[in-house]
Amino acid sequence: MREFIEHTLLKQDATINEVRKILDEAVEYKFLGVCVNPCYVKFAKQYLKENGGEDIKVVTVIGFPLGQNTTEIKVLETIDAVKNGADEIDMVINVGKLKDCDDEYITNEIKGIKMACQGKNLKVILETDLLTKEEIVRACQLAIKGGADFVKTSTGFVKNGVGAKVEDVKLMYETVKDAGMEVKASGGVRDGETAQKMIEAGASRIGTSSGVKIVAGE
């Protein structure tokens, strides 16, 4: 299970000591990656290198959590994150533009951010709690057109949102699998049973702040 987990800390009041703690846990439990806010990318990369975690991926978020920044700002965020050592980028889609059926905007934004990734993996956060099943499929199709590497369920920041749902992960997987893309389940995955269901539905990554709890129960 641990090889699926991106150990995550994205809360607004995260402190350096809390970041250090999840980095230590990632090394101890041999997680695939850590996901931190952009201001901690450089610290995380250096800390992992100095503490036996040089193989752990440093993942960060762009346009987080609303996705409503301009494309230009998201691109600049991405360039900065990669410069600071980010191994992968998780961008938030512009849900309003998706609902307006401005498919060209969405596609071009993903293309621009993917170019700024300089070969690093790009995950597109769909925010499935806000979407219909048809919109989830269309968002996945636009992510394919934009050249993304993954689609991801959620930020975990939608008020009263559920986050990742098995049926949504399965729908996303069925939509993108033939394009060679992968699925990250994130938001509300807090135990091993739920994580296993996400993997069985097609997720190859699990974004969670409960990584230790999940692997401790293996």
- Please indicate whether residue 178 is annotated as part of the active site: no
Distance CA 121, CA 8 (A): 17
Q: Residue 218: its pLDDT value, please?
A: 62
Contact (Cβ atoms closer than 8 angstroms) between residue 151 and residue 176:
yes
Q: Residue 217: its pLDDT value, please?
A: 75
Distance CA 23, CA 34 (A): 7
Q: What is the average per-residue pLDDT within 38-50?
A: 98
Catalytic residue among 74, 165, 184, 197: 184
- Please indicate whether residue 30 is annotated as part of the active site: no
- Please indicate whether residue 152 is annotated as part of the active site: yes
Given a cut of 90, whether residue 150 has pLDDT beyond it is yes
Predicted confidence (pLDDT) per residue in 134-148, tens digit = 999 999 999 999 999
Q: Residue 107: its pLDDT value, please?
A: 98
* CATH code of the domain in which 203 resides: 3.20.20.70
- Three-class secondary structure of residue 164 per DSSP: coil
Number of domains in the chain: 1
DSSP secondary structure letters along 108-159: HHHHHHHHHTTT-EEEEE--GGG--HHHHHHHHHHHHHHT-SEEE---S-ST
Largest CA distance in the chain: 47
Distance CA 77, CA 114 (A): 12
Among residues of the chain, what percentage have pLDDT more than 70? 100
Which domain covers residue 16, as residue numbers? 2-216
Catalytic residue among 57, 97, 114, 152: 152
Q: The whole model's pTM is what?
A: 0.97
Per-residue tokens: 28: 């101890």
Catalytic residue among 90, 129, 149, 168: 90
Q: What is the average per-residue pLDDT within 199-216?
A: 96
Measured between alpha carbons, how far apart are the two ends of the chain, in Å?
Answer: 8
- Would you mind telling me the total number of residues written for the chain in this entry? 218
pLDDT bracket for residue 119 (50, 70, 90): very high
Predicted confidence (pLDDT) per residue in 46-101, tens digit = 999 999 999 999 999 999 999 999 999 999 999 999 999 999 999 999 999 999 99
Q: Residue 35: its pLDDT value, please?
A: 98
Among residues of the chain, what percentage have pLDDT more than 90? 98
